Amino acid sequence: MLKLALVLLVIFCPMAIDLYLPAMPQMADKLDTSITNIQSSITVYMLCVGFGQLLFGPLSDRFGRQKIAIFGVFAYFVGSVLAAFSDSVTLLIIARIIQGVGAAATFVSTFALVRDNYNANKSAQVISYLNGIVCFIPALAPILGAWLTLQFGWQSNFYFLAGFAAIGFIVLLIAIPKRPAITTQQQTEEKLSYWQIISHPTFLFNATICMLAMGAILAFVAQAPNYLINQHGLTEQEFTLWFSINATVSIIASFTAPQLIKRSTSLALLCGLLLMVCAACLVLLFQFTFANVSSFMCAIFVGSMGYSFAMGAAAGNALGPFKKQAGKASALLGMMQMSGAGLIVSLTQYLPLAIPFIIALHLLSVLPFLLTLKRYQSAVKPSYN
């Protein structure tokens, strides 16, 4: 039952992003707003998920994993229902904030439960398994979302999320084991470790790479419906097909990356950063030569492969020095990946640039880290542990 609970908890967050992507153009039309405002609902959600982890991490220690997870699922349910009943973009954004708070609680609870119930080696296996499941969401959720939108309208996506939360609520009440709260002294020590983690150059260098890489993917996710459906005239089904192919590329790369990481983490990170920079160059090249959906998406495929290689290696490097503070380090890393990336994307989407140029800008943002990678590796500080 615990494994079922972990699977349910870990997919709450990505489901609320990928499911309603095909419905965005219809939402903009029905809510009488711009596609940019609808896209901002993704970045707002990501900001809430990211910063919420810093809140719910300590709270899960104080009150137990089950209570925080249950609260998160309930908030997710409320946000989903409110989104389905939204008659304006303002109400939709409020609903997404509530949904994001709930997703933050479920996300933190997932990895806290893994640490509570498995040793170090088994935890790594379980987390890898959970990450593999998450990779399938971008491939499958848009297909379901497109079907729901065509059959029942855009609101059906959020009704589905509400139903999923209701089922999850019942399962989690049974499946999550209770855990005693930590002592006041332990809470104080963990609070002090925040500064140690974020000021460590190994963490900062690699976590920033994770943030920028996530920003590139988030920029594509947020801008793709407008660019491919509205500007290039793709149907919702065609958009879903391209999006699913890209997700499949990411899945293959994600399962290939560990073999390269096993050989050399530095090599995997180098390959990932190189692929992202190459993808940016391809986007720009195709935009100035023969701009079409196929060429654009081929460049995105290269960027997605780079993301998969770079993210795993950089995240492992960032958490490496903090064996005793792995929970706090994970929360900070998650905050930077989601809130940091969401903030950057929310700013760049208003630049007076064509969408391909905005995505290329995000992909090129890792270039300074590629150029300084060798220098960084020769000056790495030792672990705190």
Span 6-16, average pLDDT: 90
Are 232 and 293 within 8 A, CB to CB? yes
For the stretch 273-311, pLDDT in tens is 999 999 999 999 998 887 789 999 999 999 999 998 888
- Which H helix or E strand runs over 326? helix 326-335
Q: What is the DSSP letter of 88?
A: S
1-182 CATH:
1.20.1250.20
Pick the CATH number of 183-385 from 3.30.750.24, 2.170.190.11, 1.20.1250.20, 1.10.287.70: 1.20.1250.20
Give the tens place of pLDDT for each residue, 304-331.
Answer: 999 988 887 887 787 777 666 666 777 8
Q: Which residue has the higher pLDDT, 228 or 192?
A: 228
Please calculate the CA angle 27-341-13 and round it to the nearest 5 degrees: 60
pLDDT, average across residues 78-88: 95
Instruction: Taking residues 259-263, report their average pLDDT.
Output: 79
Task: Answer whether residue 218 shows pLDDT above 50.
Answer: yes
> Which residues make up the CATH 1.20.1250.20 domain(s) of the chain?
1-182, 183-385
Structure tokens at 345: 């994307």
CA torsion 49-51-55-60 (nearest 10°) is: 40
Evaluate the CA torsion angle 222, 24, 248, 278 in order and state its sign.
negative
d(CA 199, CA 328) in angstroms, rounded, equals 13
